[in-house]
Chain A
Amino acid sequence: MVNIHTSHRLLFILPATIYLILVFVCAIWPALIQQELDQAVPKPFPNELADRGRELYRSYNCVTCHTQQIRADHRIHKEVDGVRVVPVLKADARFGQEIATQAEEYAHHEPPLMGTQRTGPDLMSVGARLPDAQWHYWHLYNPQSVSPGSIMPPHRFLFTTTRPPADQEFDFEKVHLIKGLGVPKGKELWATPDAKALVEYLISLTREGVVQAEEAGG
């Protein structure tokens, strides 16, 4: 009789087969089901600048410290006019959101930047909290100038302190100088096209459609 203790063939095939079955059950099968649900969600309007900003957000790997998820408290079942509302977990209530993130919100994100660590605040709805591009420029150039005590690394390489050539000026954006920014005296501060795209992406994170859907339902 073939015995796993003495047959190397069986020793290879048995754990491999069990593993493949389990992978199908716990990853592939749920993924196939989810894929259909995701694809049924209508695509949002394209925003090229924000999409480029998202690529930069990925390139600087901001997801290391910033999540994009408002977690749900599944213990509370709340219905408003027959529409089920998913309440927010207490720890996540600070971000000014009343409903947790839904599957549809991620449907066309490749990949969803949900993150696994929240050293800095959640950015799921940062555009709703902080819609001012200038604020984001100040914050990227010197986080502590607008957020005292912040341990976010400055991203000064996204800026230039010399005026760009006249024919390229449109691609750049002038940053108003504020106290504590640390720009050398007599210099100007210009956001590079990269900084513009990144900030455009951050401002686009508003969860606007979700809030509207909630109001319509409630």
Chain B
Amino acid sequence: MKIPVGIPVFVAAAGTDPRFAKMVSRYLLSAGVWLIIASAVGLLEAFRLVNPELIADVEWLTFGRLRPVHTMTALFGWSSLALVGLAFYVVAKSAWLPMNEPLKKAEYFFANLALLLWNVGVGLGIVVMCGGDINSGREYREYPWYAMAPIFAAVGICGVIFYRLIARRRVEGIYISCWFVLAASFWVAIVVLMGYQTWWKVGLTDRIIDGYYIHNAVGMWFTPLAVGLTYYALPKLLNKPIYSYALGVLGFFAHLVFYTVIGTHHYIHTPIPAALQTTSVIFSVAMIVPVWASTGNFLMTMKGERLAISHSYSLPFIFVGTVGYGLASLQGSAESLPSVQEILHLTHYTVGHAHFAMYVFVTFLIWGCIYGLVPRMTGREPPVLLVGIHFWLALSGIAVYVVGLCAGGHVQGDSWVDGEPFMASVRKTIPYMVWRAVGGSLMMASHLLFFIALWRMRPGAFTMAFGDRS
């Protein structure tokens, strides 16, 4: 076994345009702030499921209103901004652009404008949803249209910049990371347009669009971005090529074809046309192909690198994220089966799965990419002990959370099938709600540590001294 010796981060960072480092850093710090807000709100909601009297008399902070505040801020504030910020770096690097001027002056302006629009959208969304203007009943698009509009514009701007960066690459081939980033920017624009169109809003028609929207918002945006970034970060950090490039291409196209059509699996056993339900279940199972194409690819790349992973503060996050991707998606495929839904659909199990996917998979990969790539851009490393504590707090927190909710979901679903009074299913799940709050507290603590680490990595004296702005 060998520890791969890459170049030290400050050498890698030298010559980076300070404007670039600052811009990416702004994206990540914004994302970090939204992460803390989203998890604080989520934690309050978790405690409320144990004690409903908690801050119960404030109409603006009632349980129903804060729930979409938690989900939407985590999705469109934290995950999206962090992924897009990192994507700027990954696209610029994998397009072999000169780091002393990766973006043109106008592109910096628009990238910063996109960040501003994005933050305005998320902030406005929080305020108006607390005030009661919720696009209720339409999950993951609870923002009223005027809060989503700035975010949509920002996605468009970033998509155009990604395309321009790829177009002026200094290498013939386009690396697979760029495939995922470019495609995801287009896909999510269509997803948002479909979510806010006005032609199919009434009756079951709306539910058909809803099924499509729920799963495409997750699967055609967060998943391809997180996977795409990992295709760059993992080989880079291990200082070796990816196990199989062809598997990446297979994963890309299988993802596109299979993931798009699985949305209706949120509405099994409902009056939505049976053909759609069946199609969604079949392709949900078929998702095993793209998921394990990427997961397997990453795991094979990591094979024999145990020492390197254990000596790195970023690779453990990527390892957990990779395993999380494979397992959460397998869980999702299993959950789509009608006979499984009979017991588990509508229970807390679904929430456990959602966190498994968005946290163990997406968020851990984001953290891995941030800890691995940001020092190579700013020349500043985070305090290693802090990152270690962050890792273990987050991992133990989410483990308690996911195991607790999945077990609680089983208890809840069994209670329904057994025909017990409904209140029995509520009473029986209370202990699991306590575990959820405990897990949530650990995760919240880890996010505060993460923010400190992120702050310590921000561009500073080094970037200004050794940065190069041509």
Write the nearest CB–CB distance from B74 to chain A, whole angstroms: 15
Contacts A35-B205, A106-B207, A111-B202; A60 near B64 (Cβ below 8 A): yes
CB distance B261 to A63 under 8 Å? no
Contact mask for chain B residues 408-424; partner A; CB cutoff 8 A; 1 contact, 0 none: 00000100110101110
Write the nearest CB–CB distance from A107 to chain B, whole angstroms: 4
Contacts A91-B416, A111-B201; A19 near B260 (Cβ below 8 A): yes
Number of A-B contacts (CB under 8 A): 240
CB distance B163 to A8 under 8 Å? yes
Alpha-carbon separation in the docked complex, A80 to B59 (Å): 49
Chain A residues lying within 8 Å of B220, measured Cβ to Cβ, are 19
Chain A residues lying within 8 Å of B206, measured Cβ to Cβ, are 109-112
Contact mask for chain A residues 1-30; partner B; CB cutoff 8 A; 1 contact, 0 none: 000011010011001101110110111101
Write the nearest CB–CB distance from B55 to chain A, whole angstroms: 9
Alpha-carbon separation in the docked complex, A114 to B273 (Å): 15
Alpha-carbon separation in the docked complex, A33 to B276 (Å): 12
CB distance B57 to A157 under 8 Å? yes
Chain B residues lying within 8 Å of A216, measured Cβ to Cβ, are none
Chain A residues lying within 8 Å of B172, measured Cβ to Cβ, are 6
Q: Is B461 an interface residue (CB 8 A)?
A: no
Chain A residues lying within 8 Å of B212, measured Cβ to Cβ, are 23, 26-27
B179-187, B321-329, B356-364 - the one binding chain A: B179-187
Count residues of chain B with CB under 8 A from any CB of chain A: 90
Chain A residues lying within 8 Å of B134, measured Cβ to Cβ, are 58-59, 61
Q: Is A165 an interface residue (CB 8 A)?
A: no
Write the nearest CB–CB distance from B57 to chain A, whole angstroms: 6
Q: Is A116 an interface residue (CB 8 A)?
A: yes
Contacts A8-B166, A19-B187, A60-B62; A38 near B204 (Cβ below 8 A): yes
- State which of A22, A31, A71 has its C-beta within 8 Å of the C-beta of B208: A31
Interface residues on A, range: 35 or more
Q: Is B203 an interface residue (CB 8 A)?
A: yes
Counting chain B CB atoms within 10 Å of each CB, the highest count among A64, A120, A147 belongs to A64
Contact mask for chain A residues 104-146; partner B; CB cutoff 8 A; 1 contact, 0 none: 0011111111111111110000000000000000000001000
Across the two chains, which residue of chain A brings its CB closest to B175? A5
Q: Is B399 an interface residue (CB 8 A)?
A: no
Contact mask for chain B residues 110-147; partner A; CB cutoff 8 A; 1 contact, 0 none: 00000000000000000000001110111100100000
- State which of A12, A23, A90 has its C-beta within 8 Å of the C-beta of B190: A23
Chain B residues lying within 8 Å of A20, measured Cβ to Cβ, are 190
CB distance B62 to A34 under 8 Å? no
A44-52, A148-156, A183-191, A199-207 - the one binding chain B: A148-156
CB distance B413 to A91 under 8 Å? yes
CB distance A116 to B346 under 8 Å? yes
Chain A residues lying within 8 Å of B209, measured Cβ to Cβ, are 27, 31
Across the two chains, which residue of chain A brings its CB closest to B413? A91
Q: Is B269 an interface residue (CB 8 A)?
A: yes
CB distance A62 to B276 under 8 Å? no
Alpha-carbon separation in the docked complex, A79 to B235 (Å): 61
CB distance B200 to A12 under 8 Å? no
CB distance A153 to B203 under 8 Å? no
Alpha-carbon separation in the docked complex, A52 to B67 (Å): 22
Alpha-carbon separation in the docked complex, A46 to B178 (Å): 53
Across the two chains, which residue of chain A brings its CB closest to B341? A71
Across the two chains, which residue of chain A brings its CB closest to B50? A151
Q: Is A176 an interface residue (CB 8 A)?
A: no
Write the nearest CB–CB distance from A125 to chain B, whole angstroms: 13
CB distance B63 to A22 under 8 Å? no
Contacts A62-B64, A154-B52; A110 near B201 (Cβ below 8 A): yes
| 8 Å CB interface, B28-65 against A | 48-50, 52-53, 56-59, 62-65
Q: Is B465 an interface residue (CB 8 A)?
A: no
Write the nearest CB–CB distance from A98 to chain B, whole angstroms: 15
Q: Is B104 an interface residue (CB 8 A)?
A: no
Counting chain A CB atoms within 10 Å of each CB, the highest count among B64, B67, B186, B419 belongs to B64
Chain B residues lying within 8 Å of A41, measured Cβ to Cβ, are 203
Alpha-carbon separation in the docked complex, A68 to B206 (Å): 15
Contact mask for chain B residues 137-171; partner A; CB cutoff 8 A; 1 contact, 0 none: 11100100000000000000000000100110100
Please name 10 pairs of A and B residues whose Cβ atoms are closer than 8 Å in the assembled complex, sorted by A. A12-B183, A27-B209, A58-B134, A61-B65, A94-B422, A102-B271, A110-B206, A116-B266, A116-B350, A119-B426
Known: A34-B204, A111-B202, A148-B423; 10 extra A-B contacts, CB below 8 A, are A27-B209, A28-B200, A59-B132, A64-B63, A64-B64, A89-B342, A114-B137, A114-B207, A119-B49, A153-B62
Please provide the 8 A-B residue pairs with the shortest distance between their CB atoms, ordered closest to farther: A61-B64, A38-B203, A58-B136, A71-B269, A91-B416, A27-B212, A118-B346, A59-B132
